Structure 1
Amino acid sequence: MLAIVAAIVFGLGLLLDLLGVDILGGVSAMTFVLLGLTLLALHQAGIGTASVRGYGRWRGRARR
C-alpha cells in the first residue's frame, strides 16, 4: 500500500517540477521526492504490509 502511495507522491512531484510550481509554504517538487523515498523505505521495512490473519501469507502452507 505504501508503495502505491509513494508512486502517487512521485507523480505529483514530477508534475510540480515540470510545471515549475511551488505550493505556498515552501513545498516544492523535492519535498514530494523526499516524501516518496520515505514511503518506499517504510514499505521495504515492512511497515503497513500487515494482512488479515490467515490470508496473504507470502509463504503459504507447507506441502508434504
Structure 2
Amino acid sequence: MLGIIAAVLFFIAFLINAADIATNDVFTSVNFMLIGLMLLALHVAGIGSGWAARGRRR
C-alpha cells in the first residue's frame, strides 16, 4: 500500500515539475519526492505490507 502511495506522490511531483506549476514552499516537487522516497523506504522495510501470518510450527 505504501508503494502505491509513493508512486502517486512521484507522479504528482513529476506533474508539478513538468508543468512548471508555481506552488508555495510546502507543496514543491522536491517535497513530494522526499515524502515518496520515505514511503518507498518504509514499504521496502516491510512497514505497512499487511499482517504476517504467524502460525505454529509442528
Please report the TM-score for the alignment, with normalisation by the length of structure 1.
0.72
Structure 2 residue runs of 5 or longer lacking an equivalent are none
Which structure's relative contact order is higher, taking Cα pairs within 8 Å and 6+ residues apart?
A: 2
How many angstroms does 1:45 deviate by?
0.8
- Equivalent residue for 2:14? 14
Larger Rg: 1
Aligned residues between the structures = 53
For the aligned residue pairs, the C-alpha RMSD in angstroms reads: 1.8
Identity %: 40
In 1, distance between residues paired with 2:15 and 2:40?
A: 19
Give yes or no for contact 1:2–1:43 (8 Å, CA) kept in 2: yes
Which 4+ residue blocks in structure 1 deviate beyond 6 angstroms? Answer: none
Q: Deviation per CA, 1:11-64, whole angstroms, max 9, x where unpaired?
A: 00000001111333x12100111011000000011110123x65xx8xxxxxxx
Instruction: Mark the runs of 5 or more structure 1 residues left unpaired by the alignment.
Output: 58-64
